[in-house]
Structure 1
Amino acid sequence: MKQITKHVALVAAAGAMLGFAGPGGASEPAPGSLDWTRCTGSGLDPRQQCATLAVPMDYSDPDSPEIRIAVSRIPGEKPSARRGALLLIPGGPGGDSLGDPSGKGQKLPQKVRDAYDLIGFAPRGMAPSTSVDCKLDPADISMTKRLPWPAPDGSVDGNMATARRTAEACARNGGELIRHISTANEARDLDRLRAALGEKKISAWGVSYGTYVGAVYGQLFPHRTDRIVLDSNNNPDHTRVTRNWLAAFETGVEDNFPEFAKWASRPGNPHRVARTPAEVRSGFLRLAARLDRDPLPWPGANPPLLDGNALRQTMLSSLYDPDDYPVLAEAVRAARKDTVPPAPEAPPEPVLQNVAAVGVGTVCNDVEWPGSAAAYQKDVDESRAAYPLTAGMPRGPMVCAAWPYKPKEPAVRITDRGPSNILLVQNERDVATPLAGALKLRQALGDRAVMVTVNSTGHDAYLANGNACGDATVSRFLATGERPHRDRYCDQGPFSVR
């Protein structure tokens, strides 16, 4: 999940209710109107246009008040080649793709940009759509609070206290909308957007959490899908959803830390921290344990201490992209000398508050979490013993352990029923969405999907941390509809069958 450590993100989904399209089909929603105007903001392609779409807050209530979804587009560049619209589904929950038509959308090959209108959006709850804010204590929006890093002795008592504070603040300040933020509702909003765009079918490129949104959309509205690319994929288990994704960090870190360790022990590397990969690992564990006992003041950071969990969080964030390895290496080198690196740059507090509220609403409304501290403590103890790098965090209690509301509907179960028009692309070493989870989604989709596994390291495969073979495969599918006939392994060179 890209946003999950670069800001935060975890997720889940839910199924059909009455009065709107679900797996069994239903009437076409009345198209909303889109009044396209010039976008405001800096750094945008002058061709990008913006609009807002009205959707129901509560799809189960015919009298539900409307909320607004902010939408952006760059029209296809060759009208004679136009195929339709390509939704750019962001990661998160807590991300948006409003700037993506001007940003990563322009990395798409010309044939794809010719054929598709590139469509971005801010999901429900995310500003400038109708937004939510829990008004959390600033200390509770830090990454070491939003992810359940346990105390140095492994206790989850502090995590449970944070969960209660956060849940109470969201119930008090989040308004009615926070109860209706979910993956299934985001998928329904996207189908309203499809209709408003005048498209009978829609194509999509979903990344990280966006792969789950895309899978849920394809389950609820299978015959309204055209060409679907799911990039950096999550385990779709509808009984656990985000709990599985959080737990996957155990595997993700173990898949990726060896790559950092090889880099950080390479002779001639100016950021070198040890002579061998084994020494990088053992040294990191010793340093984290030392900082658990004796944290260093860290002015400007939130919280203002470089403790063991702050170092572990730096590790987790840095493993998303090999280009960020120097951030972790320099944190290790500084802490060994009892100094600290520069405090990480954070977005403005209102942005963090909004991201946190959307993340909380999605994660907790998609699936119910246990409320017993004892159950989490047992899992955390086991995790700490088996996966020392992540110190038990992946099995800890998030805010949902104290969430006062039950999910309004069951999570959507992803199945093999639907058209065979999905291409999964997945890096072999991905800290946030590990290959093991992607294989679960591949299994659930059955003959609907083909998966290309890319011999690469980092989160986000297509046009980011993947390789030329994987990029060419996805580009060909979007431009022509041609998919590999079966699952493939993409080394740097031509396809090889595994």
Structure 2
Amino acid sequence: MRAPALYSVAGALLLTALTTAPADSTTVAAPGADERHGTTVAVARAEEAGITFGDCAKDLELPDSVKCGTVSVPLDYTDPYGKQIRLTVSRVPATHKDPHNSKRRVPSQGALVYNPGGPGGSSLHFPLIGVLPAWKRLAGAYDLVGYAPRGVGSSAPVSCQDPKQLLTGPTDAPTHPSESYKRERIARAKAYARGCAERTGSALQHYNSLNNARDLDVLRAALGEDKLTFMGASYGTYFGALYATLFPSHVRRMVFDSAVNPDPAQIWYRSNLLQSAAFEGRWADFREWVAKHHDVYGLGDTSDKVLRTYEKVRGWVAMEPAGGKVGPGQLQEAFLQVGYYDDYWPARAQALSAYLKGNAKPLAELASPTTEAAVGKENTNAVYTAVECNDAPWPTNWAVWDRDNTRLARVAPFETWDNVWMNLPCAYWRAPRQQPLDVRTGPGEVPPVLILAAERDAATPYDGALEMHRRLSGSVLVTERDAGTHGIAYGPNACVNGYIDAYLLSGRLPERRASCEGHPEPKPERPEHRKAKKLGKQTETKPGGRP
């Protein structure tokens, strides 16, 4: 069922391949007294200054109900009186309304701060979520607070290349690259790392997860909160766990949705290898679903036949790009999303189906790069790269990357090389690396943390949630069984949502572990159904992102 054997083979290969430390690059010492003093100074300053909320900048395209402000944090926490950067913060105050009892006034429980992951994700639009039915109870009790972390958007943005370079295409994306293609990608990775250093200068090293955790404590203080209530998804769970380790007495309640493996040995080289292995299983889940609905899509009545159809389309768009812009690289990027969210499955299956019937428009609309998105995407990629490269040692010898990923790609070809090219600038990084913090809390050090995980999550494999659960004493793990959507908080699973409500609204938790039956698979959509839905429905943007 659903390719567990293949996943096991990939995992075994990784264990064999990764018996030695992954990196030989220069690192900086673990955080010490200077950083602690700098954080104390910044927190005291934020407590006094607070945040003045007013109208949001027009380019954020937020309605008047959302108010924005800024909080200053040190670029370098060892120099708290030196250069400051401003983080943009958004908020919608608690409504004090009970959606089930209009006469009851709900007492305030303070601010709920949300981070969607990445690295590179912004939650400035998060406060809008309170109008959705699943979130209304929380919106009654909490001020919903979003923010752009350091480097993201308007918060001292990081850039590594001209955004116009992202609009070049169509591009190739071989699952078994040639030596000449590898040399080309190595050159591009070196140029990208050089661009990050040249565009950001000496400030580059300060964009890292430890500083994201420190910034979160400064934000807590600026909001006037003695203790932090926080929900993080994907990468947000990692620096949330760093926060719990660094500031245990400042934690009120924390929800970690789709938890990253916080083991220092996994950050981040091994983590990406394990992610690539897990994506192969989720890619197989998608193909099985498509095969079950062969009568709708006509892409093949077995998983293998669907794969052959997809590879056929890859070959065709290599010869004649769909819409003139979608080659194998753009096709691959669009279909990687099926590993994150199963509600993306129908649209992608339908786009392939239409293409095979001679209509390339749906595929072109789905996968073509757009000028409007280029600046934001470039910034997101830059922050992702800066944080992951700064956080930990990486191999600096290409032979290590080539060995590990060539082995892995034999059994997990779908994401493996794409993940390599995404992260390869870290091999040639020009800023010093951090030593990852040993995330761990002892009995009674922090209030119980609620961890949510889907068993077949590919972006943050389930073993990571188990490791997070082991390392955070007193934490509770809620598992969505036989499901793989990345980011399950307030999705379609009422059982999962019930546990979150009970915890955030009243502090109630189950015993150390609980589980929920997986939510139903998406229903296939025929073209006429998609047209009808398009007329009147706006879909919620899912939390998460690439961890």
* Aligned AA (2:349): A
Give the secondary-structure state (helix, strand or coil) at the position aligned to 1:94. coil
The counterpart of 2:376, out of the listed 337, 340, 351, is 351
Give the secondary-structure state (helix, strand or coil) at the position aligned to 2:260. coil
Distance (whole Å) between structure 2 residues aligned to residue 467 and residue 339 of structure 1: 35
* Aligned AA (1:35): T
Distance (whole Å) between structure 1 residues aligned to residue 149 and residue 172 of structure 2: 20
Say which is worse superposed, 110-119 or 63-72, in terms of deviation.
110-119
Match of residue 50 from structure 1: 68
Structure 1 residue 222 corresponds to structure 2 residue 240: no
Distance (whole Å) between structure 2 residues aligned to residue 338 and residue 155 of structure 1: 31
- 1:364 is displaced (CA, Å) by 1.0
Q: Deviations over 1:432-471 (max 9, x none)?
A: 11212222222222x331100013331110112x511111
Contact kept in structure 2, 1:141 and 1:353, CA below 8 Å: no
Contact kept in structure 2, 1:136 and 1:169, CA below 8 Å: no
Equivalent residues in 2 for 1:316-395, closer than 5 Å: 316-330=336-350, 332-333=352-353, 340=360, 341-343=363-365, 344=367, 346=370, 347-394=372-419
Structure 1 residue 314 corresponds to structure 2 residue 330: no
Match of residue 82 from structure 1: 108
Contact kept in structure 2, 1:19 and 1:26, CA below 8 Å: no
Give the secondary-structure state (helix, strand or coil) at the position aligned to 2:345. helix
Q: Deviations over 1:189-212 (max 9, x none)?
A: 110111111111011110111111
Distance (whole Å) between structure 2 residues aligned to residue 29 and residue 149 of structure 1: 52
Give the secondary-structure state (helix, strand or coil) at the position aligned to 1:245. helix
Structure 1 residue 68 corresponds to structure 2 residue 90: no
Match of residue 7 from structure 1: none
- 1:184 is displaced (CA, Å) by 0.9
Contact kept in structure 2, 1:14 and 1:184, CA below 8 Å: no
Q: Deviations over 1:458-493 (max 9, x none)?
A: 1110112x5111111111111110011121121169
Distance (whole Å) between structure 1 residues aligned to residue 203 and residue 470 of structure 2: 34
Match of residue 465 from structure 2: 438
Distance (whole Å) between structure 1 residues aligned to residue 257 and residue 169 of structure 2: 24
Distance (whole Å) between structure 2 residues aligned to residue 353 and residue 27 of structure 1: 30
Q: Deviations over 1:235-282 (max 9, x none)?
A: 112234122332233333233223312321124653241112342235
* Aligned AA (2:203): L
**5+ residue gaps in structure 2?**
1-27, 97-104, 520-547
Distance (whole Å) between structure 1 residues aligned to residue 513 and residue 407 of structure 2: 35
Give the secondary-structure state (helix, strand or coil) at the position aligned to 1:175. helix
Seen in structure 2, the aligned counterparts of structure 1 residues 379 and 287 have a Cα distance that, compared at 3 Å, is farther
Match of residue 218 from structure 2: 192
Q: Deviations over 1:358-384 (max 9, x none)?
A: 112111111121111111111121011
How many equivalent residue pairs? 471
Distance (whole Å) between structure 2 residues aligned to residue 74 and residue 279 of structure 1: 49
Q: Deviations over 1:273-328 (max 9, x none)?
A: 1112342235445655x469x54324463xxx522x44433321123222211343
Say which is worse superposed, 269-278 or 325-334, in terms of deviation.
325-334
- 1:101 is displaced (CA, Å) by 0.5
Structure 1 residue 17 corresponds to structure 2 residue 43: no
Say which is worse superposed, 107-116 or 206-215, in terms of deviation.
107-116
Seen in structure 2, the aligned counterparts of structure 1 residues 328 and 134 have a Cα distance that, compared at 3 Å, is same
Q: Deviations over 1:139-163 (max 9, x none)?
A: 4588999999763569632332121
Match of residue 173 from structure 1: 199
Say which is worse superposed, 331-340 or 157-166, in terms of deviation.
331-340
Seen in structure 2, the aligned counterparts of structure 1 residues 251 and 444 have a Cα distance that, compared at 3 Å, is farther
The counterpart of 1:33, out of the listed 20, 43, 50, is 50
Q: Deviations over 1:68-109 (max 9, x none)?
A: 010111112228611221111121111100110113675554
Contact kept in structure 2, 1:219 and 1:414, CA below 8 Å: yes
Seen in structure 2, the aligned counterparts of structure 1 residues 235 and 458 have a Cα distance that, compared at 3 Å, is same
Contact kept in structure 2, 1:383 and 1:392, CA below 8 Å: no
**5+ residue gaps in structure 1?**
1-12, 494-498
* Aligned AA (2:71): L
Q: Deviations over 1:401-428 (max 9, x none)?
A: 1111112x32222113331420001112
Give the secondary-structure state (helix, strand or coil) at the position aligned to 1:429. coil
Distance (whole Å) between structure 1 residues aligned to residue 452 and residue 29 of structure 2: 24
The counterpart of 1:296, out of the listed 320, 341, 345, is 320
Equivalent residues in 2 for 1:82-481, closer than 5 Å: 82-103=108-129, 106-136=132-162, 138-139=164-165, 151=177, 156-267=182-293, 269-285=295-311, 288=314, 290=315, 294-299=318-323, 301=325, 306-307=327-328, 309-330=329-350, 332-333=352-353, 340=360, 341-343=363-365, 344=367, 346=370, 347-394=372-419, 397-407=423-433, 409-417=434-442, 418-445=445-472, 447-455=473-481, 456-464=483-491, 467-481=493-507
Seen in structure 2, the aligned counterparts of structure 1 residues 43 and 54 have a Cα distance that, compared at 3 Å, is closer
Seen in structure 2, the aligned counterparts of structure 1 residues 433 and 329 have a Cα distance that, compared at 3 Å, is same
Seen in structure 2, the aligned counterparts of structure 1 residues 471 and 147 have a Cα distance that, compared at 3 Å, is farther
Distance (whole Å) between structure 2 residues aligned to residue 179 and residue 425 of structure 1: 31
Distance (whole Å) between structure 1 residues aligned to residue 453 and residue 180 of structure 2: 33
Match of residue 6 from structure 1: none
Distance (whole Å) between structure 2 residues aligned to residue 271 and residue 154 of structure 1: 37
Name the structure where helix makes up a greater proportion of residues. 2
Give the secondary-structure state (helix, strand or coil) at the position aligned to 2:265. coil
Match of residue 5 from structure 1: none
- 1:66 is displaced (CA, Å) by 0.6
Match of residue 13 from structure 2: none
- Percent of pairs identical after alignment? 29
Say which is worse superposed, 227-236 or 417-426, in terms of deviation.
417-426
Distance (whole Å) between structure 2 residues aligned to residue 450 and residue 146 of structure 1: 44
Contact kept in structure 2, 1:379 and 1:395, CA below 8 Å: no
- 1:339 is displaced (CA, Å) by 7.3
Distance (whole Å) between structure 2 residues aligned to residue 49 and residue 26 of structure 1: 27
Q: Deviations over 1:119-171 (max 9, x none)?
A: 11000111222222223474458899999976356963233212101011111
Match of residue 488 from structure 1: 514
TM-score by length of 1: 0.85
Distance (whole Å) between structure 2 residues aligned to residue 387 and residue 175 of structure 1: 37
* Aligned AA (2:145): I
Distance (whole Å) between structure 1 residues aligned to residue 193 and residue 231 of structure 2: 32
Say which is worse superposed, 318-327 or 450-459, in terms of deviation.
318-327
